[in-house]
């Protein structure tokens, strides 16, 4: 068998397309509920809900340490992975680590069992999420919970969408943290995101010109299967996808391949493809990967996304609501005819899909220009922010890989090495890791230490 997903036993992946939550999670933690405001944009609204958070105090120095806020995103937040960068920083700084669950995910459902109705999902957006973080910090300082003195410095860390939150937080609330890390922070909310597949082509071509060529041929293979009216239903059924439209299936197929590259398995994936005798055999291999992911196919089907039943382990209805209503990152095929993704998957198709999943009359579509106008898109310019990206990560084009004059104050690192992909720096170090990954983590630690020392030396003078 060709199964190469054994790496999944060390990293558990949530099922949203670009999410990884890196475990295992065995560090000693305590779990609490925070009384959070529902609507930060309406001071007259005093409604509250319970937001879950995990606290790790084993490295905490309450007099000269700090607080690391780990921003959880579009997943059921289990906390922070063992030996991950957040803990290494906590040891260096004497910090307490707090992982805060994102509203509408996991156990943090503002309306309980009614949370996922369209009406109630309107409270799920970037500004409410950033304001949750701000209010959380302010209350922790005010109430001195967990022995956190109001004078202690706060730092925030996030990866992927929470990476964007971490970067945007420096813009909206620069006074509340001393410095943040945004790993694979997707601050550029691209509507027509063709650059994503273009990066898949570039990343896979590191394995030689054959690999991206095979992906293209495999795309053609699927298109052909779906065009044969007699066999297409059986074909979809063999993937459990009989309830899905042809285009949803095409997206599912492309994303199965994407997952391999994004999670840093490009070398083995391309090697396996090349070892197989035919396109049919390669298609079988991809089918195995797809079937091995259980019911993750459901995230591509509007039929499934319409289900409003709250389930703390399911993230797809909320995540694609965020994409369709605000964040976009809608992946389309590049125009260069070398796509691994079907040319049917246009922005027009996305519009139909979003409305199929979420519309009850009113049209749903993300206003990416509003987000860009507010935060500046790739021109975000804030100080005390590190942005990191993996060199093979398809998402890097939605992030800042190299600071320009427009964002002279942002510190950027492109971690360019084999199989270095999404949020690569956040995980636990391994003995065999590339030197540039080790040195980047060290540079991040040095910068945090510098911020920390500066903070405390200023405090001493006053
Ligand atoms: C939204 O949640 C509230 C509070 O639980 C509930 O009363 C209301 O019916 C919900 N709205 C919908 C449309 O489900």
Domain residue spans of the chain: 30-188+373-461, 195-358
Q: Is 117 in the pocket of ligand 1 (CB under 6 A)?
A: yes
Distance in Å, CA 33 to ligand 1 centroid: 21
User: Can you give the pLDDT at residue 17?
Assistant: 41
Is residue 181 within 8 A of residue 386, CB to CB? The reply is yes
**Phi, psi for residue 460 in degrees, rounded to 5:** -65, -40
Beta partners for 414? Answer: 389
Q: Is 102 a catalytic residue?
A: no
How far is ligand 1, taken at its centre, from the CA of residue 131, in Å?
22
Whether 111 lines ligand 1, by a CB cut-off of 6 Å, is yes
Give the whole-angstrom CA distance, residue 91 versus residue 190.
37
pTM of the model: 0.95
Instruction: Report DSSP state, residue 9.
Output: G
CA 111 / ligand 1 centre spacing (Å) = 7
Ligand 1 pocket test: which of 117, 124, 358 has the largest number of ligand atoms within 8 Å of its C-beta? 117
Residue 134 CA to ligand 1 center (angstroms) comes to: 26
Does the beta carbon of 343 sit less than 6 angstroms from any atom of ligand 1? no
> How remote is the CA of residue 121 from the centroid of ligand 1, in Å?
10
- Quick: pLDDT tens for 40-74: 999 999 999 999 999 999 999 999 999 999 999 99
Q: Which residues of 122-157 are buried (b: 16+ CB within 10 A; e: fewer)?
A: ebbbbebbbbbbbbbbeebbeeeebebeeebbbbbb
Active site residue 416: no
- Strand 179-183's sheet: what is its strand order? 30-37, 48-56, 95-100, 66-71, 154-159, 179-183, 385-390, 411-415
Low-confidence ranges of the chain (pLDDT < 70): 1-21, 460-462
Find the Cα–Cα–Cα–Cα dihedral 366, 377, 153, 22, rounded to 10°: 60
Residue 12, strand partner residues: 21
- Whether 197 is catalytic is no
Both tokens of residue 46? 């005093």
What distance in Å separates the CA atoms of residue 141 and residue 147, rounded to the nearest whole number?
10
Concatenated DSSP letters of 147-207: G--TTS-EEEEEESHHHHHHHHHHHH-TTT-SEEEEET------SEETHHHHHHHHHHGGG
Q: Whose CA is nearest to atom 6 of ligand 1?
A: 114
Q: List residues bridging with 95 in a β-sheet.
A: 66
**CB of residue 122 inside a 6 A radius of ligand 1:** no
Cβ of 362 closer than 6 Å to ligand 1, yes or no, is: no
- Report the DSSP beta bridge partners of residue 446: none
Q: Are strands 48-56 and 95-100 parallel, antiparallel or unpaired?
A: antiparallel
Among the atoms of ligand 1, which is closest to the Cα of residue 112? 5
pLDDT tens digits along 82-116:
999 999 999 999 999 999 999 999 999 999 999 99
Residue 100's contacts (CB-CB under 8 Å, 6 or more residues apart) are 34, 51, 52, 53, 69, 70, 71, 72, 77, 132, 133, 136
Pair of tokens at residue 356: 């199929």
The residue contributing the CA closest to ligand 1 atom 5 is: 111
Q: Which of 321, 363, 387 is nearest to 16 (CA)?
A: 321
* Of 179, 141, 113, nearest in space to 312 by CA: 113
The pairing of strands 385-390 and 411-415 is parallel
Dihedral in degrees, nearest 10, Cα atoms 112, 13, 200, 397: 50
β-partners of residue 42 are none
Q: What is the per-residue burial (b if ≥16 Cβ within 10 Å, else e) of 209-234?
A: eebbebbbebbebbeebbeeeeeeee
- Pocket lining: 119 vs ligand 1, CB cutoff 6 Å: yes
Q: What is the pLDDT of residue 367?
A: 96
> What SS3 state is found at 258?
helix
Q: How many CB atoms sit inside 10 A of residue 120's CB?
A: 17
Q: Retrieve residue 120's tokens.
A: 């109630």
Ligand 1: centre distance to CA 319 (Å)? 20
Active site residue: 393, 399, 425, 452, which one? 393
Residue 324 DSSP one-character state: I
Total Cβ atoms within 10 A of residue 348 = 10
CA of 308 to the centre of ligand 1 (A): 12
- 114 within ligand 1 shell (Cβ under 6 A): yes
Contact 420, 434 (CB under 8 A): yes
Architecture of domain 30-188+373-461: 3-Layer(aba) Sandwich (3.40)
Is the CB of residue 336 less than 8 Å from the CB of residue 202? no
Indicate the helix (H) or strand (E) that contains 390.
strand 385-390
The closest-lying atom of ligand 1 relative to the alpha carbon of residue 111 is 5
Smallest Cα–Cα separation from 263: which of 109, 155, 420, 150?
420
Which residue among the candidates 160, 166, 339, 342 is catalytic per the annotation?
160
Residue 460: predicted pLDDT: 64
Q: What residues pair up with 386 in beta bridges, in sequence order?
A: 181, 411
CB contact burial 423-434 (16+ within 10 A = b; e otherwise): bbbbbbeeeebb
Q: Whose CA is nearest to atom 12 of ligand 1?
A: 117
Q: Ligand 1: which residue has its CA nearest to atom 4?
A: 111
């Amino acid at each position: 068998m060709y199964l190469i997903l054994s790496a999944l036993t060390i990293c558990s992946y949530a099922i949203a397309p670009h999410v990884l939550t890196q475990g295992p999670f065995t560090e000693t933690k305590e779990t609490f509920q925070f009384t959070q405001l529902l609507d930060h944009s309406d001071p007259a609204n005093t409604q509250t809900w319970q937001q879950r958070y995990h606290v790790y105090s084993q490295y905490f120095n309450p007099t000269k340490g700090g607080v690391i806020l780990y921003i959880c995103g579009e997943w059921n937040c289990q906390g922070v992975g063992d030996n991950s960068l957040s803990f290494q920083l906590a040891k260096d700084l004497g910090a307490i680590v707090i992982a805060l669950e994102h509203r509408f995910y996991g156990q943090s459902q503002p309306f309980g069992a009614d949370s996922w109705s369209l009406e109630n999902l309107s409270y799920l957006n970037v500004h409410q999420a950033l304001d949750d973080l701000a209010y959380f910090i302010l209350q922790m300082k005010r109430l001195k919970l967990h022995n956190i003195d109001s004078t202690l410095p706060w730092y925030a860390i996030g990866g992927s969408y929470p990476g964007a939150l971490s970067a945007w937080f420096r813009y909206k609330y620069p006074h509340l943290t001393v410095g943040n890390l945004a790993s694979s922070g997707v601050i550029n909310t691209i509507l027509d995101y063709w650059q994503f597949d273009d990066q898949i082509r570039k990343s896979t071509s590191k394995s030689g010109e054959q690999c991206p060529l095979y992906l293209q041929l495999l795309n053609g293979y699927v298109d052909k299967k779906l065009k044969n009216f007699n066999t297409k239903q059986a074909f979809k059924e063999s993937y459990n996808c009989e309830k899905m439209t042809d285009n949803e299936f095409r997206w599912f197929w492309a994303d199965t391949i994407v997952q391999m590259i994004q999670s840093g398995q490009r070398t083995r994936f391309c090697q396996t493809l090349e070892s197989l005798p035919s396109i049919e055999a390669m298609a079988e291999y991809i089918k195995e990967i797809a079937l091995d992911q259980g019911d993750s196919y459901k995230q591509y089907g509007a039929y499934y996304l319409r289900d409003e039943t709250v389930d703390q382990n399911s993230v797809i209805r909320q995540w694609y609501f965020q994409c369709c209503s605000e964040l976009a990152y809608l992946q389309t095929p590049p125009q260069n005819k070398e796509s691994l993704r079907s040319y049917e998957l246009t922005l027009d198709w996305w519009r139909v899909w979003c409305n199929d999943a979420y519309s009850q009359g009113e049209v749903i579509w993300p206003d990416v220009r509003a987000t860009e106008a507010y935060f500046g898109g790739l021109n975000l310019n804030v100080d005390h922010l590190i942005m990191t990206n993996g060199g093979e990560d398809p998402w890097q084009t939605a992030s800042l890989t190299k600071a320009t004059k427009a964002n002279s104050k942002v510190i950027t690192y492109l971690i360019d090495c084999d199989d270095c992909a999404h949020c690569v720096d956040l995980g636990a170090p391994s003995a065999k890791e590339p030197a540039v990954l080790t040195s980047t983590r060290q540079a991040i630690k040095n910068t945090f230490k510098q911020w920390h020392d500066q903070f405390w030396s200023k405090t001493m003078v006053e």
